[in-house]
């Protein structure tokens, strides 16, 4: 072809009529390159972006751990409740410097041997005395006695009753632990058990007199308790009516 325009040619035959277009050669459509027209560029298909949605995390329930109750050891700020009471009791306190002394007898009560623990190895004890001012009790005297240990070259603690212990005893003539010299814990006979305490010497820390005439204010009860590291306790409560003497240097009550 010479690039000039050629009108369509019509042909007729026996069965049909047809024509050849200007850009058709021998009945075949000529390509753009044949006609001198630049080929159309092929535009690559834009890939379809796939959005992946992360699954929403399902919260896992964490099991709640119930803490194990830890027994309270030593003296609390106020008297404990639920202690085993004495059938009868006596307390005597003398304030006299290096010659001071404290005696407490807890008698005719219940002290199950199992509740005494084992002070020869692991169960510590404490003596707690509470005075009351304006009807509010407060700790006045505290003596802590550790388990096991050696006192004067011998074990501080020993069991009572042979192979099957019926209680324990503590002995320290020096009173190195807050003035505690003797402590007896005798159980196993309900209604007849006893706790005995004797403390004294310079290590015994007594409170200052509540007034010039009284050691304890005694505006309500005076409470004496013995507690151990296993959370068990024994006590005696001395109401004003049970007080025999309450001077600035001497106190005695009995019920």
Q: Using alpha carbons only, what angle is made at residue 58 by residues 54 and 59, rounded to the nearest 5 degrees?
A: 135
Would the pLDDT of 37 be above 60? Answer: no
Can you tell me which residue has the tokens 């002070």?
119
Q: For residue 238, what are its two tokens? A: 């001395």
Distance, in Å, from the CA atom of 83 to the CA atom of 250, rounded to the nearest integer, reads: 26
Q: pLDDT class for 173, splitting at 50, 70, 90? A: very high
For the stretch 138-149, what's the b/e string if a residue is b when 16 or more beta carbons lie within 10 angstroms of its beta carbon? ebbbebbbbbeb
Would the pLDDT of 149 be above 70? Answer: yes
Q: pLDDT class for 27, splitting at 50, 70, 90? A: very low
Q: Residue 17's CB: how many other CB atoms inside 10 A?
A: 8
pLDDT digits (tens, 9 = 90+) for 175-227: 999 999 999 999 999 999 999 999 999 999 999 999 999 999 999 999 999 99
Q: For residue 14, what are its two tokens? A: 């026996």
Three-state SS at 241: helix
Q: Residue 11's CB: how many other CB atoms inside 10 A?
A: 9
Over pLDDT 90: what percentage of the chain?
69
Q: Residue 76's CB: how many other CB atoms inside 10 A?
A: 16
Q: pLDDT class for 165, splitting at 50, 70, 90? A: confident
pLDDT digits (tens, 9 = 90+) for 80-127: 999 999 999 999 999 999 999 999 999 999 999 999 999 999 999 999
Distance, in Å, from the CA atom of 149 to the CA atom of 143, rounded to the nearest integer, reads: 16
pLDDT score recorded for residue 56: 60
Distance, in Å, from the CA atom of 9 to the CA atom of 27, rounded to the nearest integer, reads: 11
Distance, in Å, from the CA atom of 23 to the CA atom of 19, rounded to the nearest integer, reads: 12
pLDDT score recorded for residue 46: 52
pLDDT score recorded for residue 85: 98
Closest CA to 83 of 243, 238, 224: 224
Q: For residue 51, what are its two tokens? A: 């959005």
Would the pLDDT of 154 be above 90? Answer: yes
Strand duo 88-94 + 9-12: pairing: unpaired
**Class of residue 70 by CB neighbours under 10 A (exposed 0-12, middle 13-18, buried 19+):** exposed
Domain ranges of the chain: 7-37, 84-254
pLDDT score recorded for residue 2: 52
């Amino acid at each position: 072809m010479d690039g000039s325009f050629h009108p369509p040619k019509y042909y007729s035959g026996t069965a049909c009529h047809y024509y050849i277009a200007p850009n058709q050669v021998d009945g075949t459509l000529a390509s753009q390159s044949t006609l001198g027209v630049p080929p159309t560029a092929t535009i690559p298909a834009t890939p379809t972006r796939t959005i992946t949605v992360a699954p929403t995390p399902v919260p896992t329930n964490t099991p709640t751990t119930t803490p194990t109750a830890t027994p309270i050891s030593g003296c609390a700020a106020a008297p404990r409740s639920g202690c085993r009471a004495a059938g009868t009791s006596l307390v005597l306190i003398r304030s006299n410097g290096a010659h001071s002394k404290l005696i407490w007898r807890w008698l005719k009560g219940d002290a199950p041997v199992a509740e005494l623990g084992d002070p020869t190895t692991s169960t510590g004890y404490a003596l707690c005395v509470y005075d009351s001012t304006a009807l509010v009790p407060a700790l006045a005297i505290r003596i802590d006695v550790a388990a096991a240990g050696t006192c004067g070259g011998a074990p501080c603690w020993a069991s009572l009753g042979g192979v099957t212990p019926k209680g324990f005893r503590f002995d320290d003539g020096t009173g190195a632990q807050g003035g505690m010299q003797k402590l007896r814990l005798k159980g196993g006979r309900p209604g007849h058990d006893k706790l005995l305490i004797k403390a004294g010497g310079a290590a015994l820390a007594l409170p200052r007199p509540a007034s010039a005439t009284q050691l304890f204010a005694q505006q309500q009860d005076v409470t004496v308790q013995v507690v151990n590291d296993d959370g068990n306790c024994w006590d005696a409560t001395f109401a004003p009516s049970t007080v025999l003497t309450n001077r600035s240097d001497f106190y005695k009550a009995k019920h």
